[in-house]
A = this chain, B = another copy of it.
Amino acid sequence: MKVSELGEFGLLELLGEIVGKSRNAGFASWQNLLIGIGDDAAVWRDDSPIHLATTDSLVEGTHFELNTIGWEELGWKAIAVNLSDIAAMGGTPRYALISLALPGSLETDSIYQLYQGMVQIADHFQVAIVGGNITSASKVVINISIWGSLESPFLLTRTAAAPGDQVAVTGYLGASAAALKMLKQKLNFSTETNQSLRKAHFKPMPRVNEGQILLQQGVKTAIDISDGLLADLAHVCRASKVSATINKDAVPVHPAVQASFESDYYYLALSGGEDYELLFTAPGHTVDQVKRAISCPVTVIGEITAGTPGEVSVIDSTGKSIPWQQIGWEHFKSQL
């Protein structure tokens, strides 16, 4: 059945049912909810004094193509990219509002799957989907806003990087951009590699718990890697009015990317983007503490320096400077 045949109320009812199953999970956000889907606004009780909110969109044709991403993956990813922003502040995500713009010619089942993907990841992080909005449009646009709270009076910001800080990242980089390249160029890899890359791109796992551990261990500066390692490090350097030098040979390239993209794995890991790992800076002893407290890999890849604000330099392990052209500076340009 088409969305236009089911109509707005039918669709809202269907989505309400999917979300209703999540509500049965009964985690804290649901317990504190006073009014959910179906009124003018969502209403909840929360005594935390510090609140966080973020919003992000996925636009058909800009961020995804319907012939490569599955609807469930799309739902997962739309929530994941927002959770990643909350993670990069050290917050706890609690409530989500979903705004859908879509063509009436879509199959209802597609929207059902979309919401299944959203509920999967929302349940995983105990986030309650409490409202939103559906409207018609010629292309699919998914906008999500997530509200969260913060247990400590401290925050992970982009503005606290200081000369002498080490620059470190969680996990491995490059797999999401590698997946995009694989799909666009129709590259053939083993099923295992294919699935591993695909998962990195379409179902990224935001580092929510890891962000909270960074905060607990005294880290003050973090950002999530969405635009790409170099671009996001440049955001931090600009905001903190510092510069940075990173050693490209220290960057933890995803093993499947290193194995399958011999000629450009550095490009994919340094400039590819959409990894949704956390990039953070802190004094060496704080990074050591983080490594002991956290269960994912943490790799030191460079240091913050007192050079030109916003400047990021790349060297190799012999100390030789690497020109931007080799690692994809052109990717930094805006997509606007």
Is A286 part of the binding interface, using a Cβ–Cβ cutoff of 8 Å?
Answer: no
Q: Which residues of chain B have C-beta atoms less than 8 A from A145's C-beta?
A: 53, 55, 97, 99, 145
> Which residues in window 94-111 of A have CB below 8 A to B?
95, 97-99, 101-102, 104
Is A182 part of the binding interface, using a Cβ–Cβ cutoff of 8 Å?
Answer: no
Is A69 part of the binding interface, using a Cβ–Cβ cutoff of 8 Å?
Answer: no
Binds B, one of A35-43, A170-178, A191-199, A260-268: A35-43
Q: Which residues of chain B have C-beta atoms less than 8 A from A30's C-beta?
A: none
Q: Which residues of chain B have C-beta atoms less than 8 A from A9's C-beta?
A: 334
Known contacts A50-B44, A51-B147; is-contact A38 B335 (Cβ 8 Å)? no
Q: In the assembly, how many copies of this chain are there?
A: 2
The proximity string for A residues 90-129 relative to B, scoring 1 for CB distances below 8 Å and 0 otherwise, is 0100010111011010000000000000000000000000
Is A4 part of the binding interface, using a Cβ–Cβ cutoff of 8 Å?
Answer: yes
Q: Which residues of chain B have C-beta atoms less than 8 A from A54's C-beta?
A: 40-42, 97, 131
B137 lies within 8 A of A62 (CB): yes
Name A94's closest neighbour in chain B (CB-CB): B51
A137 lies within 8 A of B139 (CB): yes
What is the CB-to-nearest-CB distance from A334 to chain B, in angstroms, rounded to a whole number? Answer: 4
Residues of A with Cβ closer than 8 Å to B?
A: 3-4, 6-9, 11, 34-35, 38-47, 49-57, 59, 61-63, 84-86, 88-89, 91, 95, 97-99, 101-102, 104, 130-139, 141, 143, 145, 147-148, 150, 155-159, 223-224, 239, 333-336
